[in-house]
Amino acid sequence: MKDLKVRARKKENNKQCKTMDIVRFNNIYKIYEMGAEPVKAIDGISVAFQKGSFWAIMGPSGSGKSTMMNILGCLDRPTSGRYFLEDKDVSTLNDDALSDIRLRYIGFIFQSFNLIPQLTVQKNIELPLYYLGWDAHKSAERAKELAEKVGLETRLNHRPAELSGGQMQRVAVARALAAEPHIILADEPTGNLDSHTGNQIMELLASLNKEGTTIIMVTHEADIAAFARNRLHMKDGLVERIEGN
Amino acid sequence: MHQSRLVRNIWLGIENLLLHKLRSFLTMLGVVFGVGSVVAMLAVGEGASKEALRQIQKLGSNNIIINSIKSLQEETSTQQRSRMSMYGLTYLDYQRINESFPCIHKSAPAKLIRKESRVGSNTLELRIVGTTSEWFELVPRQILAGRVFEKKDVDDLSAVAVLTEYGARKLLATKNTIGQIVRIGGDSFEVIGIIKTESGQAGNIQIPDQQVDAYIPLITIRKYFGDVFTKRTSGGSIRELVELHQIIVQVDNTENVESTAAGIERMLQNFHKKKDYEVSVPLTLLKQAEATKRTFNIVLGSIASISLLVGGIGIMNIMLASVTERTREIGIRRAIGAKRSQIIVQFLIETVVLSTIGGIVGLAMGIIIPIIITYFSSMPTVITLQSIILPLFISIGIGIVFGLYPAINAAKVDPIIALRHE
């Protein structure tokens, strides 16, 4: 009788997980075969991030946070373990399917902005929409809307080289938002910015999170990580500790 | 929807190519010159073979032409022994040929003589062909004035002459000369017509009426002048007996041309001790000309494909460099969600746009060059629809073939590494 009850509660828990967790890692390993000694970049991590949360993944270099980010972003597949993205097992998908997941679920923000230099601000923002197959008119409207949101509506026809670092990162944020992703993955988003501009970008990200977007960010700067509501510390491919409110 | 995507892809390609204008232009040059030379060479080749075919067709594709030739043996023996040289086709040959081959439906004999002639106060030596009325059906020429002679003229042994343009010019005859008397070798002939002349050479066969000034019925010539003519040479004069210089035969069906020609050859062999005749078939020449054209086209094709190959390799080289240079861009696109196939399409379109623009520019060059050639050398050139469409498809094909490898290379880029790429 008691046993049944426990099982029922477990089931309920699982159900709750289904609705709340956007990302779930089940015993994820990432092992690189380099030379004789295999390198364990991720050495068995099980973790779940809730929908609407704002996480900072921290750790010294070599701790595995970049690998973590690549797997989270579906740029790389784990060697073993299962990765559920909104209850969808994405750990075994092929390249085309992963591309589609990146397109529809994930928005990337990079340390070095990674805008396409020959495209205008507008075209850069439109890029995910282009791959989604939106028509030109609809994409242009969406791009304008997003440019306004990040405060760059007057720069639509400029090329990245004509913008400041902060502005470039705003374009990157707008681009990341274009396809209405479920998660935004930010890899050291302020790494190439001065602290003032960096804070502005972080405020932008925090406001996006308030609107409901899940944000996972990799950083090694504590003051930047302070913008996140949860912090995950990594060390040697393992979760060292989790802190948050 | 899908189409507009393609159009956007093409624009994206053009925009990317415009970023490196000089590089794109230089890359294109290979295809430009390749296609340009193909089109120009095809035009020149086509022009030359068209001209040859036109000449041969003037001889008539159903015709067989038999010429008298002075054999080498004859040439030497006459000088030693008799002062009289006898060779060539005879009236009997003509009769036999007509009687032996049922598929011959028209034929005309020709006897060539030179005679001092006069119209009014103009005196000149005319080259005269004695023939029958069938001649004008076998070698149709435009009548400029008057008429050609008919069967009646031949049967009546009429003293009539048809002048050619050459002859008319020589004798300063005009349309008004029709009906006038021309004195040929002391006898009077009535000018009944003037016909247009065609000049030129087809293969080794002379156009039958080349360098002819006047036509007179054959029987009339025999009656007035006989068959023996004195030919003046450097060493004195040689008397020559040649009954007929040429026989033109028309066969009812093109299929029978070659077998009839072979039959005539065999028959003449039986009756002539020496080979003092020559059978030529315009159809054979036509076939030879076509074979030559095919060979020419193969040679042109090889040269063209080499130059296009070089152009294509140039494009591939640049595109490979471009892929390396744009590794980061590829990584960004892949991270955002572009599939491998979409990256391939992007780069492939860029290459195809490059090679197609090159092809169009080359085509323009290839059309202008033959015009210049024709203008300065009066060599005929012909640009066919095929010689325009083919190089265009080839240049698109080059874009695809030589763009595929760089595009696949681009798609293989690992986004993780590419994003770290500086």
The rounded distance, in Å, linking the Cα atoms of B365 and B30 is: 13
The residue behind tokens 């439906």 is B105
Interhelix angle B327-336/B282-325, rounded to 10 degrees, is: 80
Question: CB neighbours (10 Å) of residue A2?
Answer: 6
Is residue B341 classed as helix, strand or coil in its secondary structure? helix
Find chain B residues with C-beta within 8 A of A136's C-beta: 4, 8
- Looking at the partner chain, which of B16, B336, B419 has a beta carbon nearest the beta carbon of A102? B336
Find chain A residues with C-beta within 8 A of B19's C-beta: 118
Nearest Cα residue in chain B from A105: B337
Query: Average pLDDT, stretch B333-342?
Result: 95
The pLDDT of residue B315 is: 92
Percent pLDDT > 90 in chain B is 23
Give every CB contact of residue B340 below 8 A, 6+ residues apart in sequence: A95, A96, A99, B334, B411, B412
Name the token pair of B346: 């992007």
Query: Average pLDDT, stretch A232-244?
Result: 91
Does residue A11 have a pLDDT over 50? no
Does residue A6 have a pLDDT over 70? no
pTM assigned to the model:
0.72
What is the extent of the structural domain holding A201?
2-244
Please identify among residues 317-346 of chain B the ones whose CB lies closer than 8 Å to any CB of chain A. Answer: 328-329, 331-342
Query: Average pLDDT, stretch B23-47?
Result: 88
Residue A189 distance to chain B (closest CA, Å): 14
Name the token pair of A222: 């504590």
- B5 at interface of A, judged by CB pairs closer than 8 A: yes
Of A220-224, B71-75, B283-287, the range with the lowest mean pLDDT is B71-75
Of A149-158, A234-243, B110-119, the range with the lowest mean pLDDT is B110-119
Confidence of residue A1 (pLDDT cuts 50, 70, 90): very low
pLDDT in tens, B137-148: 887 778 888 888
Name the token pair of B78: 């006459």
Does residue A174 have a pLDDT over 90? yes
Interhelix angle B327-336/B340-377, rounded to 10 degrees, is: 130
- A118 at interface of B, judged by CB pairs closer than 8 A: yes
More confident residue, A118 or B77: A118
User: Which among A11-15, A203-207, B217-221 has the top mean pLDDT?
Assistant: A203-207
Does residue A18 have a pLDDT over 70? no
Find chain B residues with C-beta within 8 A of A75's C-beta: 335, 415-416
Find chain B residues with C-beta within 8 A of A96's C-beta: 339-341
The rounded distance, in Å, linking the Cα atoms of B413 and B333 is: 11
Phi (first) and psi of residue B134, to 5 degrees = -60, -25
Mutate one of B336, B341, B413, B416 to test the A interface: name it (highest A CB count within 10 A).
Answer: B336
Question: Can you name the residues that pair with A243 across neighbouring β-strands?
Answer: A231
The rounded distance, in Å, linking the Cα atoms of B370 and B380 is: 9
DSSP at B207: P
Query: Average pLDDT, stretch B76-99?
Result: 75
More confident residue, A222 or B240: A222
Average pLDDT along chain A: 89
Q: How many CB pairs under 8 A join A and B?
A: 62
Question: CB neighbours (10 Å) of residue B15?
Answer: 13
The pLDDT of residue B9 is: 84
Q: Would you give the end-to-end CA distance of chain B in angstroms?
A: 36
**Is B281:B250 a contact under the CB 8 Å cutoff?**
no
The pLDDT of residue B415 is: 92
The pLDDT of residue B76 is: 58
Confidence of residue B318 (pLDDT cuts 50, 70, 90): very high
Residue A96 distance to chain B (closest CA, Å): 6
**Is B128:B215 a contact under the CB 8 Å cutoff?**
yes
The pLDDT of residue B202 is: 52
Is residue A182 classed as helix, strand or coil in its secondary structure? coil
What ipTM was reported for this prediction? 0.90
The pLDDT of residue B153 is: 83
Confidence of residue B400 (pLDDT cuts 50, 70, 90): very high
Of A53-67, A76-90, B120-134, the range with the lowest mean pLDDT is B120-134
- Looking at the partner chain, which of A76, A132, A133 has a beta carbon nearest the beta carbon of B416? A76
**Helix (H), strand (E) at residue B75:** helix B72-80
Does residue B263 have a pLDDT over 70? yes
CB contact under 8 A, B335 and A102: yes
The pLDDT of residue A15 is: 47
CA angle (B219 as vertex; B216, B222 as ends), nearest 5: 95
The pLDDT of residue B401 is: 93
CB contact under 8 A, B16 and A118: yes
CB contact under 8 A, B336 and A110: no
Query: Average pLDDT, stretch A219-225?
Result: 91
Residue A222 distance to chain B (closest CA, Å): 24
Total number of domains in chain A? 1
**Helix (H), strand (E) at residue B29:** helix B21-59
Does residue B231 have a pLDDT over 80? no
Given phi > 0 = left and psi -120 to 50 = alpha, else beta, which region is A128?
alpha
Interhelix angle A165-178/A136-149, rounded to 10 degrees, is: 130
Residue type, A239: V
**Helix (H), strand (E) at residue B105:** strand B104-119
Find chain A residues with C-beta within 8 A of B342's C-beta: 131
Of B22-36, B67-81, B367-381, the range with the lowest mean pLDDT is B67-81
The rounded distance, in Å, linking the Cα atoms of B154 and B24 is: 75
In order of B17, B25, B311, B316, B409, the CA distances from B22 in angstroms are 9, 5, 16, 16, 24
Name the token pair of B98: 């007509």
**Helix ranges restricted to H, B251-339:** 254-271, 282-325, 327-336
The pLDDT of residue B200 is: 56
CATH number for position A176:
3.40.50.300
Query: Average pLDDT, stretch A215-243?
Result: 92
The rounded distance, in Å, linking the Cα atoms of B207 and B52 is: 12
